[in-house]
Chain A
Amino acid sequence: MEFLSYLISGISLGSVYAIIALGYTMVYGIAKMLNFAHGDVIMVGGYISFCAMSYLDLPWPIAVLLAMLVCTVLGVVIEGLAYKPLRQATSLAVLITAIGVSYFLQNAALLIFGATPKVYTPIISGTLKLFGGQLSISYVSLVTIAACIVIMIALTLFTDKTKMGKAMRACSEDKGAAQLMGINVNGTISLTFAIGSALAAVAGVLLCSSYPTLMNTTGSMPGIKAFTAAVFGGIGSIPGAFLGGILLGIIESLAKAYISTQLANSIVFGVLIVILLVRPAGLLGKYVPEKV
Chain B
Amino acid sequence: MLKVNNINVYYGSIHAVKDVSFEVHQGEVVTLIGANGAGKSTILQTVSGLLRSKTGSIEFLGEQLDGVPAHKVVNKGLAHVPEGRRVFLQMTVEENLEMGAYTRPSIEIADGIADVYERFPRLKERRKQIAGTLSGGEQQMLAMGRALMSKPQLLMLDEPSMGLAPLLIEQIFAIIKELHEAGTTILLVEQNAQMALSVADRGYVLETGRIVTTGAGAELLNDDAVKKAYLGA
Contact = CB atoms under 8 A, between A and B. Distances in A.
Given A170-B91, A289-B132, A290-B132, A177 B86 contact: yes
Contacts of A170: 88, 91, 99
A176 B139 contact: no
Nearest to A177: B86
B153 to A, nearest CB: 15
A169 B82 contact: no
Interface string B75-88: 10001101010111
B72 interface: yes
B31 to A, nearest CB: 20
A184 B75 CA distance: 12
B135 A166 contact: no
A246 interface: no
B89 A173 contact: yes
B20 interface: no
A177 B74 CA distance: 11
A182 B89 contact: no
B13 interface: no
A169 B71 contact: no
Nearest to A172: B90
A93 interface: no
B95 interface: yes
A290 B100 CA distance: 21
B195 interface: no
Interface in A142-181: 163, 166-167, 169-170, 173-174, 176-181
Contact of A182 (B72, B84, B90): B72
Given A166-B99, A183-B102, A184-B71, A291 B150 contact: no
B102 A163 contact: yes
Interface of B: 48-50, 69-72, 74-75, 79-80, 82, 84, 86-91, 95, 98-100, 102-103, 106, 130, 132-136, 139, 146, 150, 163
17 contacts: A167-B99, A173-B90, A174-B86, A176-B82, A177-B87, A178-B71, A179-B49, A179-B71, A180-B74, A181-B74, A181-B99, A181-B102, A182-B150, A183-B71, A183-B102, A289-B132, A291-B132
Given A163-B98, A169-B88, A292-B84, 12 more contacts: A166-B98, A178-B99, A179-B49, A179-B71, A180-B70, A180-B79, A181-B100, A181-B146, A182-B103, A184-B69, A288-B132, A289-B133
